[in-house]
A and B are shown apart, each in its own frame.
Chain A
Amino acid sequence: MQRTRGFGLRHAAVALLATAALSHVGAQTITFGGWSGEEEAARPVIMEMIDSFNAANPGVTVEWLGYPWAQVQQNFLLLLRSGAAPEVAQLQDRWLSTFGALGALADMNDVFGQEVLESHIAPGLLTVGQYQGQQLGLPWIAGSIGLVANLKVLEDAGVTGLPETVDEFVAALEAIKANDPTSVPFAITTMGNATISTDFQVWLWTFGGNLFDAEGNVTAASPEAERALAFLKGLIDDGLAALEVNRGDARQLFARHQSAFYFDAPVAKGIARGNAAEGAGFDAFITPMATPTLAAGDRSYQTAWGHLLVLFQPDGQTVTADSPAARFVSHLVLDPTWPIRYFETLALLPSNTEATMSASFQGDPYAVSWLDIAARSARVDEAALWPNAPQMTDAIGEEVQSVYLGQKTPQRALQDLQRRLEALVAEVR
């Protein structure tokens, strides 16, 4: 009897193990890496996205691989070198060129087809995921680094309407300074190379300059660039902008009604809520605005910004649309369900066209206005188009800052910038 029971137990155990083993036959695990799932506010919705995909795809398991934002680029590069990169990854837009230069990313046009992508995401927004003619990333959340205006500060200074030209902009700044001499009317960033670089480029383009021409030749030392830099230095000298302002300071000044304008991502509204004494009441004072232009009717500029989804493609392998990784990307960004949910949870602007037509998105004038301006004026950071973008950003930030601090004239700084950028271009050509 005992023997029979032991025999039965052994058979049961073997059957159980066999069932467990068979249940994994054909199961595929893919890794989704990024940083949003590590952030307290975003983690629940990211996990919902993953769980819903796993539930709908019994043969596939998506696992999350998260790092804090500041460590993501470094860790993905190290993982890539050791052949352990995640199949799907979230990248900041300005990291794309570094990974693109390594040839490690799948071209989304090859995976999904350009027409399919353009039917789900506006072509203007797709540019943020392009590198050297390839669609290496899909914008998961879209937007731009654009100007926001504090309507209360403008009203207190007697400024009616948002300035549309550079002259109107300066006049508004002067009125604000006259109304409150302790204010910093325009909180352009003057600390931190990354933000100095992006803020400067918007004005560079506004004044008709560029860092590079279409062939990739450096054109930083131009009369237009000199005028743009002299304009910004003039704002600082006149007290209309200030030294020692980083993005965090700008956000504080704006929320305390000490500043009327600064550049930020669409998250500016949520941050102002957190910083302002009025809390959610501050929503009534903040509005996105187009960067003023030299003459009425000129094209306005902002810096394109977004979180991208990419597919790491191991050597010799091709990612196809029906592969689990591609299906997961499609689940996250091409199907409007999750972009809408993401927007409703965190107010992050969706890139998915259908999601932007949803009732919840259309019910938010701030978001609608921001996306409308971005679609017309966003342009990719010129340094971000190069694989050594971080060094270029440092060079731009340092030379522009040297003018702000009075260490160099605009002409001298731009000549030095020209020389440094040429050396950096030579390194990667």
Chain B
Amino acid sequence: MPRSVNDTLASVASRPVGSRRPSAFTRHQAWVGWWLVLPALVVFAIVILYPFVRAIVGAFYRDTLFLPEPVFGGLRNFRDLFASAPVLASWTRTIVFVGAGTALTLLLGFAWAVVLNERWPGAKVLRSLSLLPWLFPSTVVAFLWAWIFNAQYGVINGLLLRLGVIDQPIFWLSSSAGAMSAVIVAKTWATIPFAMAFFLAALQTIPSDQLDAARVDGAGNASVMRHIVLPHVRYTTVILVVLVAVNNLQHFDIIYAMTEGGPVRATTVLAIEVFKQAFQSWNIGLASAIGVVWLATIAVPAYFYLRSIFGEE
């Protein structure tokens, strides 16, 4: 006769506290749990874990197209990497791109969220429209901004020429600073809706009685912002800094589609460098080593992000 659930629970309840041997029911539950997560674990192992481990192991091998098979090289790839001025410059450019892109995204995303949080005619429609840049494929964003910045037939030069501000087109993408600024602007534009949505959600959870009380006490806009709004969105800001920074660190498509990493490597960030080493130079070992450095760079903000999530739990 099969045991009922009540019998099982009774046997669990009657077991002395501190017993080390798990009950049959607990063991059964554990097995069921493992079977349930097994498909996800298998997919994770094949799709994420294996390539991840292969990439890390690959960083310690000399593996180019011209070698019949990978040869263990120890730290050689890392020595080559840190001895290569162009690769190190890519790391510096990545910091600039991530730093400026993240700061601008958060600043403008927050400002836009504050505007959309107010009640005014058309605010709801504008909220929906504001999400559009986030929905565009990144290559579309890249071509849109490449057109805007284009020296010959771009929108900016067209406007400036028509207004008489300039008499010759400005070559926005022909200087290192100009090209880097352009890709930062394009990426920021595409990411602002993401930040705006987070901030807007946070702003809408501010209790209205706090705001009303502050107003009654004579607090002005600046004071409300400083003492109520900013403290309230602090945790959201921390999470957004991490998410946007990681996203910018990983970013490839807009930069590659707009500038291919140029002019003269001015926008070659780590993502572009890995692509060039792996799929243009076919130096898989060095590309893997750059990937490991890249991973270490991403790991810093990722650590704080995970701590902010699991720390609270």
Contacts and interface: CB of A to CB of B under 8 A. Distances in A.
Interface of A: 74, 77, 98, 101-102, 184, 190-193, 242-245, 249, 252-253, 258, 387-388, 390-391, 394, 398, 401-402, 405, 407, 428
Interface string B270-293: 000000100111100000000000
Q: What secondary structure prevails in chain B residues at the interface with A?
A: loop
23 contacts: A77-B282, A101-B65, A102-B65, A102-B66, A184-B152, A192-B260, A193-B260, A193-B262, A242-B171, A243-B171, A243-B174, A244-B172, A245-B152, A249-B152, A249-B153, A252-B152, A387-B66, A390-B281, A391-B280, A394-B276, A401-B263, A405-B264, A428-B66
B265 interface: yes
B173 A388 contact: no
B262 A401 contact: yes
B263 to A, nearest CB: 6
A191 B66 contact: no
Contacts of B175: 405
Interface of B: 65-66, 150-153, 171-175, 260, 262-265, 276, 279-282
A391 B64 CA distance: 13
Given A394-B276, A401-B262, A191 B152 contact: no
A101 B152 contact: no
B279 A74 contact: yes
Given A249-B150, A249-B152, A398 B264 contact: yes
Given A244-B173, A249-B152, A391 B264 contact: no
Contacts of A192: 260, 262
Contact of B152 (A77, A244, A387): A244
Contacts of B265: 398
A252 B153 CA distance: 10
A237 to B, nearest CB: 12
A191 B281 CA distance: 20
A244 B264 contact: no
Contacts of B65: 77, 98, 101-102, 387
A405 B174 contact: yes
A405 B259 CA distance: 15
B117 to A, nearest CB: 40
Contacts of A388: 281
| A-B residue pairs, 5 tightest by C-beta | A390-B280, A244-B151, A243-B171, A243-B174, A398-B264
A136 to B, nearest CB: 16
Contacts of A102: 65-66
A243 B276 CA distance: 24
Contacts of B262: 191-193, 398, 401
Contacts of B151: 242-244
Contacts of A390: 280-281
Nearest to A70: B279
Given A77-B65, A98-B65, A101-B66, A253 B152 contact: yes
A242 B173 CA distance: 12
A387 B66 CA distance: 9
Given A387-B66, A390-B280, 11 more contacts: A77-B65, A193-B260, A243-B171, A244-B173, A244-B174, A253-B152, A258-B152, A394-B280, A401-B264, A405-B174, A407-B264
Contacts of B281: 388, 390-391
